[in-house]
Amino acid sequence: MKPFTEIDQKRKEAHARWVKLNSKVYRAFLEMEKATFCDGALSKKNKELIAAAIGVVTNCESCMQWHIEQALQNGATEKEVLEAIEVAIEMGIGPATVNARFALDVLYKNRQLEK
């Protein structure tokens, strides 16, 4: 795992590069981020917890660090963050069970063809 300061530094450097390039797509991304992570039907805290869990499932270290820190800054407790991570564990394993069902179907289909 990369040291947190290295992840922070790389994120800040990349952000500065995109801003300097005056990328309309990156600007749109930043606007979408603002619109996404504001209080609405879900609180900013809960949105950050969801994003942290998605970061776990997608293996995005920078996402995990940013969104966990944001969740904590917006009032999340350690227990809430841990539960979000636990949801991510289940969601990460869940697709493997779906794939396993398909694999079983293939196995049984082929076994029936042999008879």
pLDDT score for 2: 63
Percentage, residues of the chain above pLDDT 70? 96
Q: What is the pLDDT of residues 1-55, one digit of tens each?
A: 567 889 999 999 999 999 999 999 999 999 999 999 999 999 999 999 999 999 9
Whether the predicted model's global pTM rises above the 0.85 cut: no
The structural architecture, per CATH, of the domain 37-115 is Up-down Bundle (1.20)
Do 11 and 66 touch, CB atoms closer than 8 A?
Answer: yes
Do 47 and 63 touch, CB atoms closer than 8 A?
Answer: no
Domain ranges of the chain: 1-36, 37-115
pLDDT score for 114: 63
pLDDT score for 1: 54
d(CA 70, CA 44): 9
The amino acid present at 67, given as its one-letter code, is: H
